Amino acid sequence: QETGSVTEAGGVANGTAVTPNATGTLTSTDVDGTANAFTAVSTAATTIGGYGTYTMTAAGVWAYTLDNTNTAVQALTGSQTLTDTFNVTAADGTIQKVTVTINGTNDAAVISGTTTGAVTEAGGVANATAGTPTASGTLTSTDVDVTANAFTAVSTATASTGGYGTYTMTAAGVWSYTLNNSNTTVQALAASATLTDTFTVTAADGTAKVVTVTITGSNDAAVISGTNTGTVTEAGSNANGDGSVTAGTPSATAT
């Protein structure tokens, strides 16, 4: 067997091991010497491409081990391949090339940066006190497979998971959240009471990250309505001069 295949480790910090090894057996027919006799390579030797190491037994069994720390190997995406080779020799010096195909795997992006934010509900009379309706932050993405700090853009304001606001995201990793002050749950918050809202953004390779926004309530002033005027009449003397008193209207009520 003159060919083999291995698969790069992937996931987060190469946590998905996949298939780092390949083996095969070669045969040698030589009328001048012993059949199936090869020059042994007992100590792991670097391949021609430098993407791994190999050993070879005198009986013709070769073994290849991928170097998952190699930057070219780690840069492979899930749809890319590399080819590595090494040479083995029969006992009489005849050289045989072995070819190994290295299959790439998606290395999950590591997302860091500002993953939390805070906003404050509008309050006062008819939300006249604006509060703090927006929050923003910047995320960074480290990914050996693709361009660093590349995200899936969300250019149109999109409803958050909780539905208390909307968010946008730039391809460079800048997110923005806007509170919906017309939301009844948001408006029902008392001063200092809180709600939590979330939304999910993704790096270019599909790795997801949740951003959490804390919503703090404000006092919404009560609106008082109804009859806020009344009329009363002063008590006075009888205009006929007979000494009687006119009581007037000393009180008024309303709802």
Q: Is residue 210 part of a domain?
A: yes
Give 241 or 155, the one with higher predicted confidence.
155
Give 128 or 58, the one with higher predicted confidence.
58
- Smallest CA-to-CA distance from 61 within 19, 6, 100, 23 is with 23
Give pLDDT tens digits for 175-210.
Answer: 999 999 999 999 999 988 999 999 999 998 889 999
Residue 12's pLDDT is 61
Q: Is 61 helix (H, G, I), strand (E, B) or coil?
A: strand
Are 87 and 56 within 8 A, CB to CB? no
Q: Is residue 122 part of a domain?
A: yes
Domain count, the chain: 2
Give 17 or 214, the one with higher predicted confidence.
214
Q: Is residue 36 part of a domain?
A: yes
Give pLDDT tens digits for 169-179.
Answer: 999 999 999 99
Domain with 92 in it: what CATH number? 2.60.40
- For the cut 90, the answer to whether the pLDDT of residue 157 exceeds it is yes
Give the pLDDT mean for 30-34. 67
Handedness of CA 64, 67, 73, 79 (dihedral sign): positive
Share of the chain above pLDDT 70, in %: 82
Pair 94, 116 in one domain:
no
Residue 65's pLDDT is 97
Give pLDDT tens digits for 83-99.
Answer: 999 999 998 899 999 99
Are 14 and 66 within 8 A, CB to CB? no
Q: How far is CA 3 from CA 67, 87, 231, in A?
A: 18, 12, 105
Q: Which domain holds residue 55?
A: 3-103
Q: Where among 69, 103, 137 does a domain terminate?
A: 103
Confirm whether pTM is higher than 0.75.
no
